[in-house]
């Protein structure tokens, strides 16, 4: 995790300052909730040094900008980085309501503290703010950026709609699950890097290469996230143990396991089709079965090959070597966080 927290100080500071300046425009009750959600204050509104998330997406945006421009030109992409992080956090706030998740980044979620109604409105406010900030950058990149960001939100919603529907279905094909993960996660990470390249002044070929990088890394990231949703240490992930199994998420490793044809798969399917709340014993057993059916290994291998493919995308477009290496390191660090 060092690569995610100790490096890129200038970029992180630029994102943090941009996020705080943007959030200060919100009406007071919304600004208060956003400050809590971002980890800048506690529920009483007092400043804290909380874990405000990895800020992976805005960092991807700025490193993508560095890959297409010289010197300080990456700073042109700060509004794009802020907008991407706003969209990400709007979707987190709404998804936590929808999934009924009470814990994020080791703290009660926004709806748990401020109620569902205010959490809906704060999500809406961050959503609009993202477009406001992109538009202020002006010019062709603002118009293109708005279009790309809006299409990405559409994909996020498509992914979330599929995700909630999969929970209620007995059978989900692995291809459906991959398409859902692409929509839910890869699209925004591809958008993050594409916007960075666009705002950094990259060529269309560079924008495409960096979008491919982000998209592939995003799908790898979802595999890792799904593994952490089963085997992650709650002290590290900040989420409840087995939370994805508890919600009967048809995550990538679970879907791979259910479709594996392994003799243990029917037992796993039976646990997933129970309509009552699962016991701790059942949750533990479900995790064992996902592993026995090869779901854990399949997701790990997919994450590794997707990360390799992502890094491969960086060979196109004549990107700046140093920044491309930083992106490759970030990819390795992000995906390596589970094993």
Query: Which residues lie near a copy of itself (CB under 8 A)?
Result: 25-27, 29-30, 90-91, 94, 97-98, 116-118, 120-121, 123-125, 127-129, 131-132, 134-136, 138-139, 142-144, 146-147, 149-151, 153-154, 157-158, 160-162, 164-165
Q: List Cα–Cα distances, 149 to 24, 82, 146, 192, in angstroms.
A: 22, 12, 5, 9
Task: Give the nearest distance from C-beta 140 to a copy of itself in angstroms.
Answer: 9
Nearer CB in complex with a copy of itself: 141/337: 141
Q: Element (H or E) spanning 121, and its range?
A: helix 116-136
**Structure tokens that stand for 337 in this block:** 């966080």
CB of 263 to a copy of itself, least distance (A): 35
Residue number, 111 or 242, with CB nearest to a copy of itself: 111
Q: What is the CB neighbour count within 10 angstroms for residue 43?
A: 15
What does the alpha-carbon distance between residue 33 and residue 96 come to, in Å, rounded to a whole number? 14
Cβ closest to a copy of itself, residue 71 vs residue 139: 139
Strand partners, 104: 107
What's the token pair of residue 185?
């996660």
Nearer Cβ to a copy of itself (30/252):
30
Write down the least CB distance from residue 87 to a copy of itself, Å: 9
φ, ψ for residue 104 (rounded to 5)?
Answer: -150, 135
70 versus 173: smaller Cβ distance to a copy of itself: 173
Token reading at 299 = 């997701």
What's the rounded Cα separation, in Å, for the pair 270 and 275?
10
Measured from the CB atom, the residue of 67 and 82 that comes closer to a copy of itself is 82
Which secondary structure element, helix H or strand E, spans residue 81, and what is its range? helix 78-99
Give min distance, CB of 122 to a copy of itself, in A: 8
Q: How far is the CB of 296 from a copy of itself (least distance, A)?
A: 29
Measured from the CB of residue 41, what is the shortest distance to a copy of itself in angstroms? 18
H/E element holding 108? strand 107-108
């Amino acid at each position: 995790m060092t690569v995610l927290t100790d490096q890129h100080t200038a970029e992180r500071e630029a994102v943090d300052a941009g996020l705080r300046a943007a959030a200060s425009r919100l009406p007071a009750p919304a600004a208060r909730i956003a400050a809590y959600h971002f980890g800048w204050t506690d529920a009483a509104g007092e400043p804290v040094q909380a874990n405000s998330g990895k800020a992976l997406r805005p960092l991807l945006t700025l490193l993508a900008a560095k890959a297409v421009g010289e010197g300080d030109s990456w700073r042109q992409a700060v509004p794009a980085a802020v907008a991407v992080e706003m969209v990400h956090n709007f979707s987190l706030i709404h998804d936590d309501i929808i999934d009924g998740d009470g814990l994020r980044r080791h703290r009660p979620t926004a709806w748990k503290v401020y109620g569902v109604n205010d959490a809906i409105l704060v999500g809406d406010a961050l959503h609009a703010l993202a477009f406001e900030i992109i538009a202020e950058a002006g010019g062709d990149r603002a118009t293109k950026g708005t279009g790309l960001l809006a299409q990405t939100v559409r994909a996020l919603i498509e992914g979330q709609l599929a995700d909630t529907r999969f929970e209620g279905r007995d059978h989900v094909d692995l291809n459906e699950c991959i398409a859902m993960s692409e929509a839910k996660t890869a699209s925004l990470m591809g958008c993050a890097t594409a916007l960075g390249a666009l705002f950094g002044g990259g060529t269309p070929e560079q924008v495409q290469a960096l979008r491919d990088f982000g998209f592939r890394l995003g799908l790898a990231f979802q595999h890792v996230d799904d593994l952490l949703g089963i085997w992650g240490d709650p002290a590290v992930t900040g989420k409840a143990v087995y939370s994805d199994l508890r919600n009967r998420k048809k995550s990538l490793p679970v879907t791979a396991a259910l479709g594996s044809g392994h003799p243990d798969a029917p037992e796993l399917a039976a646990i997933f089709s129970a309509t009552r709340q699962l016991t701790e014993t059942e949750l533990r057993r479900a995790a064992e079965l996902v592993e026995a059916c090869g779901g854990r290994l399949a997701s790990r291998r997919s994450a590794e090959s997707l990360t390799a493919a992502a890094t491969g995308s960086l060979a196109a477009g004549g990107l700046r070597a140093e920044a491309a290496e930083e992106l490759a390191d970030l990819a390795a660090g992000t995906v390596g966080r589970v094993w």
